[in-house]
Chain A
Amino acid sequence: MNSPTRKSASTAAGAPARVSRRNFLKQSAGATGGLVLGFHLPLMGQQALAQGAAAATMPPEINAWVVIQPDDRVVIRIARSEMGQGTLTGLAQLVAEELECDWAKVTTEYPTPGQNLKRERVWGDFSTGGSRGIRQSHDYVRKGGAAARMALMQAAADGWKVPVAECSVSKGVITHGPSKRSTTYGKVAVAASRLPQPKDVTLKPAKDWKIAGKRIARLDTVDKTTGKQVYGMDLKLPGMLNAAMTDCPIFGGKVKSFDEATVMKRPGVKKVVRVGDSGVAVIADTWWRAKTALDALKVEWDPGPNAKASSEAFAEVLNEALESTDAVIGNDVGNAVSAIDNAARRIEAVYSYPHQNHACMEVMNATVKWTPERCEVWAPTQNGEAALAATAEAAGLKPAQCEVYKIHLGGGFGRRGGTDYVRKAVLIAKEMPGVPIKMLWSREEDMAQGRFHPVTQCKLVAGLDDKGEIAGLHMRIAGQSILATVNPQMIRDGKDPVVFQGLNPPGPEASIGYTFPALRVDHAMRNPSVPAGFWRGVNLNQNTIYLECFIDEIAHATQQDPLALRRKLMAKSPKHLAVLNAVAAKIGYDKPAPAGVFRGIAQTMGFGSYVAAIAEVSVGKGGELTIHRIVAGTDCGNAVNPQQIEAQVEGSFVYGLSAALYQECTVKDGRIEQTNFHNYPSLKMAQMPKVETVLVPSGDFWGGVGEPTIAVAAPAVLNAIFAATGKRIRNLPLKDQLSKA
């Protein structure tokens, strides 16, 4: 990120061009001084203006997306949050491609949510989830780059008094062909910033790309190898105090009382505060002191209505809902019920998927300075605008009196799309007006107060005709709706449309790749006390396990090759099929796997992309699973940075396999039982299979890459386990099911 304090000029149209200066980070070395970060806030720029700083000396904003400095350095503004997925680099590539600038001169900055509000959302949506970073902003960010290029060229042509059509540009150098004069973006930027924005902008076809589409290194790597990258957890503001907090571990419970006298005498402790009606925080000079004081604090909870909630009880409710009559339909083709009733043969199975925590490496945190007039928040967030709204609400102020500064995220995976932790940090800071307070959760608090992957079960029933062909399929999903927790107003007539990811009718989003003569997918919603959240891959994860493992069951029951059966069912879904075929070719499916090694297949479509995987595994006599190799295919339409897509696909298998093999959050007496990585394990180096990524971008659409391949990780491995052992794993996670007889 661009670090020096910069100022930008007004646009010709007179719109306020003042963008928050990226927080200026100043490292103060010294024996005990440590890292001190001084923040130069938007006000600073306004003061500078008031003091008469000439607009012409400021690096001009060509438009909302592009600022050009006099030394030709190009600042590209990035609205989406970078959390490791590479969107910052990818979006910059798209802008730079149309801008025709020199990539070596590119740098980036985040506009703030407050500025977006003031400028009537000129940067569009800040929300970074659903693998949407690139696929939902490629068009307007490229147009931003193209419009800036046109303005810069027009300014040069105007200066030379020649037609712009006689000018060309390469790497930020504009040349007038006939006279062979040339100039640079830096030299014409001020003039360009005063021109009206061009209306008709034509974008390049992907085949002409020089920066986008290339295997370019990320912009943000070096600081992550030296310890210099600042995460929310690392912030230090002048005069800052630290807060540790605990919310009622029983969802829906409240604080009854706490004995603050027991901890107020501890060194460094400043205040013990109630957080809403369900939490308590200790504020101290250091976080370690706040945390240890909180550990020593006696808190009595009013457990509320969910004191006896348990995973076993949820499972019973879900199991009954598999047969209930209150389900809403997500996909209906023909009459599946009668097709199954009249079938010659019937196959059925019940699967289940547990609650899971995101377990970002960086636990939830936010730093807040609250006064009766203004509230400022420094937060690692996937959704800056929602964080601003939550800030205003918790602060009791208008949004215009608040600001959120986005800090680099130590993982997000959907967890940081929520704003619960921001709201709590604001409530804590409100207790000490004018003092910046960093709220940092312990890992234990992070595990207890997750926004969990929803819990579901699925009953699948297939009716087969006398030739073993599928006559009808019914998938009954029973269980939790994410929207019921996150956004209940989006549920219409009892239907949460997100529940059906990967099982939707043919279309551009999460559509089922199989054609059945009759199909019904329905959902009986049952919401336990555990709050749900969007969890990387969302409902595509379990839906793909359910369908892909069941297709495998049908293949074995009818003695068909699992690949051949899929190909037969996918004849009308050429894009789904092409990815599966590419994966089969890469792994060498026409030849047997090495001795003792077995294959499993899965495919799906979600987040706008078509994906497939084949896993090769072996299982030892004691049930030891070894995943030797995974070939994963993705058709994301346009591939903006193939080496980063490979990194996302590889990484998605760590997330997906951790979930498939180990991860489960269970509830007992209303509380989550898992507390840290020792009882909520994650895949490590020794278990990491070789992942070979096959990219087959077919070019005529834009799909996401952060999430889709997670969904094929588990079913590919589970189907390979069946091939190896004859054991069908239907209850996730795998845990020790293979070593049990």
Chain B
Amino acid sequence: MARLNVNGKPLEYSADEGTPLLWVLREQLGLTGTKYGCGVAQCGACTVHIDGVAVRSCAMPAAAVKATQKITTIEGLSPNGSHPIQKAWQALDVPQCGFCQSGMIMAATALLKDKPNPTDKDIDDAMTNICRCGTYNRVRAAIHVAAKEMAAAKSGGKMHSKAELGKTSLNIEHVEGAKA
């Protein structure tokens, strides 16, 4: 059995040589929030963090990741979808079909770790994930919103609710309780 550390937990898995990390996550560990989009590191739907760095897991052999390295998937970003990036995404209703959004969120989180106050150019350079629905403008807006919230959290400034962020950013009305 091989070992990985995923979302803070040491896990064992068994897979054939050369199996990409993506398919170990999805098929061995049941973490299907990370998506297969292209298999050749072009679309970013499979983005996870390895020691905080955004990595395209479809092109990364699982065996190349050491058991001491910390892998974070979308499921491990926060216990309940409350990471500031997730909150901003929800506030601005970023996802359409949503399939690429795990990868988008993981790429954006890694970007904000590097650059807490990114410029539009920083976002252009870091966010090379493909979204066929075309959510880019809201992705950009949500990254800026999350950056402000994270800065406020760091400096003890005022944090905002999802409803407040939705209202002030895109005039979106959030009603607690309604769900699909």
Mask, A702-719, CB within 8 Å of B = 1, is 000000000000000000
Q: Does A413 contact B (CB under 8 A)?
A: yes
Given A107-B178, A363-B36, A654-B132, the answer on whether A410 and B30 have CB atoms closer than 8 Å is: no
Residues of A within 8 A of B139 (CB): 685
Assess the B75–A227 pair: CB atoms within 8 A. yes
- From A36, A85, A89, A216, name the one whose CB has the most chain B CB atoms within 10 angstroms: A216
Q: Which of A105, A219, A440, A442 contacts B180 (CB 8 A)?
A: A219
CB atoms of A361 and B93 under 8 A apart: no
Chain B residues with CB below 8 A from A34, complex form: 27-32
CB distance from A651 to the nearest CB of B (A): 3
The answer to the question of A31 belonging to the interface, with a C-beta cut-off of 8 Å to chain B, is yes
Q: Are B178 and A413 in contact (CB under 8 A)?
A: no
B99 touches A678 (CB 8 A): no
* A104/B96 in contact, CB under 8 A: no
Contact assessment for B32 and A219 in the assembled complex, using a CB-CB cutoff below 8 Å: no
- Chain A neighbourhood of B16, CB < 8 A: 267, 288-289, 292
**Nearest CB of A to B170, in Å:** 6
What interface size band does chain A fall in?
35 or more
Q: Looking at chain B's contact residues, is the secondary structure mostly helix, strand, loop, or mixed?
A: loop
Judge whether B99 and A685 touch: CB under 8 Å: no
B175 / chain A contacts, CB cutoff of 8 Å: 103-104, 216-217
Give the residues in chain B near A409, CB-CB below 8 Å.
97
A217 touches B173 (CB 8 A): yes
Given contacts A287-B23, A676-B40, is CB(A236)–CB(B86) below 8 Å? no
Interface contact tally, CB-CB below 8 A: 249
**Contacts A411-B133, A655-B132 given; does A103 touch B178 at CB 8 Å:** yes
Q: What's the minimum C-beta distance from A409 to chain B, rounded to whole angstroms? A: 6
The answer, yes or no, to whether B138 is at the interface (CB within 8 Å) is yes
- Tell me if A350 is interfacial: C-beta within 8 Å of chain B: no
**Segment of A144-152, A491-499, A576-584, A686-694 in the binding face:** A686-694
Residue in A84, A234, A651 whose CB lies within 8 Å of B32: A234
Chain B nearest Cβ from A451, distance in angstroms: 16
* Chain B: interface size category: 35 or more
A410/B97 in contact, CB under 8 A? yes
**Per-position binary interface string of chain A over residues 636-664, scored 1 when its CB falls under 8 Å from any chain B CB and 0 otherwise:** 00000001101100111111001000000
Known A-B contacts A267-B16, A411-B99; A221 and B133 likewise in contact (beta carbons under 8 Å): no
A360 to B105, CA, bound (A): 19
Of A84, A242, A646, A658, chain B has the most CB atoms within 10 Å of the CB of: A84
- Complex-state Cα separation, A20 to B136, whole angstroms: 37
Neighbouring A residues of B29 by C-beta, 8 Å: 31-32, 34
Our pick among A1, A217, A676, A688 for the contact of B38 (Cβ within 8 Å) is A676
Provide the residues of chain B in CB contact with A51, threshold 8 Å.
Answer: none
- Closest B residue to A34 by CB, please name it: B30
The one of A30, A108, A361, A688 that contacts B97, using a Cβ cutoff of 8 Å = A361
Quick one: which of A191-237 are within 8 Å of B by CB? Answer: 214-231, 233-234, 236
Which residue of B has the minimal Cβ distance to A651? B134
Determine if A35 is an interface residue (Cβ-Cβ < 8 Å).
Answer: yes
| Nearest CB in chain B: distance from A60 CB, A | 21
A443 and B130 CA atoms in complex are apart in Å by 14
Question: When chains A and B are docked, how far (Å) is the Cα of A288 from the Cα of B29?
Answer: 14
> How many angstroms from the CA of A226 to the CA of B9 in the assembled complex?
18
**Complex-state Cα separation, A720 to B158, whole angstroms:** 44
Other-chain residue from A226, A362, A653 in contact with B99 (beta carbon distance below 8 A): A362
**Chain A residues at the B interface, C-beta cutoff of 8 Å:** 1, 28, 30-36, 82-86, 88-89, 103-108, 214-231, 233-234, 236, 242, 267, 286-289, 292, 359-363, 408-413, 440, 442-443, 643-644, 646-647, 650-655, 658, 676-678, 682-686, 688, 690-691
- 10 inter-chain pairs at a CB distance below 8 angstroms, sorted by A residue, are A33-B30, A35-B31, A222-B179, A286-B23, A361-B100, A440-B36, A643-B93, A646-B170, A655-B134, A686-B128
- Can you list the 5 inter-chain pairs with the closest CB atoms, starting with the nearest? A34-B30, A227-B33, A654-B134, A651-B134, A84-B97
